[in-house]
Structure 1
Amino acid sequence: MGHDPNTKVRYESVQEIANRVRAVSQKIVKDLEEMDAALRVVTDTWDGEAHKEYVVLQRKYKGRAEHMRDRLAEVAKIIESGKDSYRATDLRASRGFTEAY
């Protein structure tokens, strides 16, 4: 890939980035679920408006966390797609060098 650090691509590193993004996206929702479980010990004893508002807020945060998870999963797919497209272009370009001689 030459010596230009601006165009160097390591396919395994790009895949690793996609895998990390995916792992983080899944951890976001899992962490929120764990926090909710820990808080439920206290919030289940609440009554009235406090409990009602907590449930509304928790639902809102869960929705945001799930949205973030889904967006990050999309980012991981885009990263992988870019890696695959770059690799295909790289292979086509390399054939041009070998076929000419």
Structure 2
Amino acid sequence: MKRFSGLFLVSLLSGAVTLGSYKLLFDNNGYFSKNNSIVTQAQNSYGRNVGLTAEAVDFTEAADKTIHTVVHVKNVSRTTVTNPILEYFYGFQGGQQQEQVGTGS
């Protein structure tokens, strides 16, 4: 009798879960149905007036101050490169460090 009541309780619970998930997922009025459409309204003020225009910015003074300077830039990037095929056969060996240098003026 105790075993029968446990089996009955499990079957009742599984039936309730099955019915509830069907109603939630596949029913026309369910939460995930295609009939539910959510409409949101945007505010009417789409833009803002800002006092900065293309004519308001003047770079001539900044260009006059920087025209007689020379800048040399050197960028060094170091990375460790590994081969995944070799790692598969021989294990992790630490990889090989490579250096990339970029210069400009």
TM-score (norm 1): 0.30
Structure number with the higher helix fraction is 1
Computing the radius of gyration over CA atoms, which structure comes out larger, 1 or 2? Answer: 2
| Structure having greater relative contact order (Cα 8 Å, sep ≥ 6) | 1
